[in-house]
Amino acid sequence: MNPETLGVIQLLVLTLAIFIGFPTAFTLLGLGLVFGTLGIGWGPELFNLMAIRTFQVMTNDVLISIVLFVFMGYVLERSGVMDRLFHAILVASGPLPGSLALATVITCTIFAMATGIIGASVTIMGLLALPPMLRLRYDKRLATGSVAAGGTLGILIPPSVLLILYAANAGISIVKLYLAAFIPGFLLAGLYVLYILVRALLRPDLSPPLPKEERTYTVPQILGMLVTGVLPISLLILAVLGSIVAGLAAPTEAAAMGALGALALSAAYRRLTWQTLRESVYHSLRTSSTVLFLFVGSNIFSAVFARLGGSRVIEQFITGLGLTGPQFLWLMLIVVFLLGWPLEWTEIIIIFMPLFWPLAQGYGIDPIWLGVLVAVNLQTAFLSPPVAMAAFYIKGVAPPGVLLSDIWWGMMPFLALQVAALLLVYFFPQLALWLPSVLIQ
C-alpha cells in the first residue's frame, strides 16, 4: 500500500474514532505511532519525528498563557466578581425594559474579557440570571437565549483560548489576532443588546424592568456598586489586554499579571481561601493538560500524516474541484460549522484546521481574517441545535420548568444574529483587519 493511501486511511480512522467517542488525545498519539510505523517504519526516523514535534510544542511560550488565563478565569469565577458585576449592572440598568437580559449580556461581555472559559460563564450566568428572570415572568426563550448567547462570547472576545490555540497552530501573531477579534466581538455583543431592547419595547410584558422595590438605591449607592463591582475587573482587564496591545508585555507575561491580579481581587473580596485556591489550581491543571496533551497528539499525528503525503492528497482533491477563493472559504466554513456539532472547538482548531491552512494560503486568504471568521463560525455552531453545548450547560442549572426545547428556541434569534455577524465580517473584512493595521505597523 502506498504512503498516500495510508495517510487517507489514517484521517478516516481518526474521524471514525472521534465520532465513536474514543479519547481524542490518545487516539491521535496511537494513530500517529501505528500509521507512522506502517508508512515510515519502526526506527529512528519515526522516533525523531515524534520527539521533535513534542519538543516544539513544549517550547512554545505562547501556550503557557493558556494555563495562566485559565487559572485567572477559575479564580475570578470563585471570587464572586461575576455576582457583584451582574448586580451592579442590573441596578444601573433597572428602569430599562428587559434590564435583566441586558445585564446578563453586558456582564458576560465584560467577563469574557477576563476569561475564555465558556462552560463556566454559561453556567454561572444561568445560576445568577435565570431564577430572577423567571420570577419576574420573563419569556423563557428570551431568558435562556440571552444567557446562552452572552455566555459564549468568550469564544471570540480576547483573551479567548481558542484564538491562542489558533495563533500558535497557524504560526501567526496572537497580538494581531486579538486586535482583529475586538470589533467583531463587541459588534456581536451590540447586536445582542439591540435585539433585547427591541424585543423588550415590543413586548414589555415578557421582559419587564426591575421592580421599583428592588432598585430603591440612591445615585451615590449605585455609583458605589459600579465602583466596587465593575471598576476592579475593568482595571484588571485593561491592564492585561492593554499591556498586550501596547506591546508592553508578551501574552504569557500579561496572563501571569492577570492571574496575580485575579488572586489580589479575590483576596480583596475576602473570597481567597485555601479551598478556593486548591480548586482553581486543580481545574486549571485539568483543563490545560487536556488542551496541551491534545496539542502534542495533534502535532505528532499531523507530522506523520504530512510525511505520508495525506496533506498533498487533500490539497490535490480541493484544487481539482476548481473552486474560487470565496467558494473554498465558504466550503471550509460549512465543514467547520458541521464539525462544531459533534466536536469540541479545541479538536477542530488543533486537528482539522491545519488541513485547511495551506489551501487558504494558496488562495491568498488572510490568516488573521480567517481566524476571526472561524471563531465567529464556531460560536455559531455552539448555539446551533441539535448538539448546542450551551443549551446543555443551561439545562444543567435551570429550574425544572425550563425545557430543552425552550432553550433551543430561545437561541434561534441569537443564532440569526451570529450569522449576520459572520456575513458582516465576511463582506467587510476591515471589521477584523482595521484595528491591527492601525495599531501594529
Q: What is the pLDDT of residues 412-427, one digit of tens each?
A: 999 999 999 999 999 9
Q: Rounded mean pLDDT of the chain?
A: 84
Spell out the domain ranges in the chain: 59-439
Q: Average pLDDT of 124-148?
A: 86
Dist CA 155 CA 162 (whole Å):
6
User: CA angle, 74 as apex, 73 and 77 as ends, to 5°?
Assistant: 85
The pLDDT assigned to 196 comes to 92
Cα-Cα-Cα-Cα dihedral of 387, 390, 392, 394, to 10°? -160
Q: What is the pLDDT of residues 46-66, one digit of tens each?
A: 888 888 888 877 777 777 888
HSE value, Cβ hemisphere, 13 Å, CA-based, for 82: 27
Read off the C-alpha cell for 151.
455566555
The pLDDT assigned to 118 comes to 67
Q: Check whether 344 has a pLDDT greater than 80.
A: no
Which residues lie closer than 8 Å to 34 by C-beta, 6 or more apart? none
The pLDDT assigned to 112 comes to 81
2 phi, psi to nearest 5 deg: -75, 155
Please report the DSSP string for 251-274 in residue order: HHHHHHHHHHHHHHHHHHTT---H
The pLDDT assigned to 87 comes to 83
CB 118 within 8 A of CB 152: yes
The pLDDT assigned to 181 comes to 92
Q: Check whether 246 has a pLDDT greater than 90.
A: no
> Which of 235, 214, 202 is closest to 81 using CA atoms?
235
CB 95 within 8 A of CB 209: yes
> Which of 202, 193, 152, 158 is closest to 177 using CA atoms?
158
Please report, for residues 53, 62, 147, 370, the alpha-carbon distance to residue 191 in angstroms, rounded to integers and kept in the order given.
Answer: 42, 32, 14, 21
Q: Check whether 190 has a pLDDT greater than 90.
A: yes
Q: What is the pLDDT of residues 102-113, one digit of tens each?
A: 988 998 888 888
Q: Check whether 374 has a pLDDT greater than 80.
A: yes
SS3 call for 408: helix
Dist CA 158 CA 166 (whole Å):
12
In the chain, % of residues over pLDDT 70: 97
Which residues lie closer than 8 Å to 163 by C-beta, 6 or more apart? 156, 174, 177, 178, 181, 371, 375
Dist CA 8 CA 354 (whole Å):
15
Dist CA 189 CA 192 (whole Å):
5
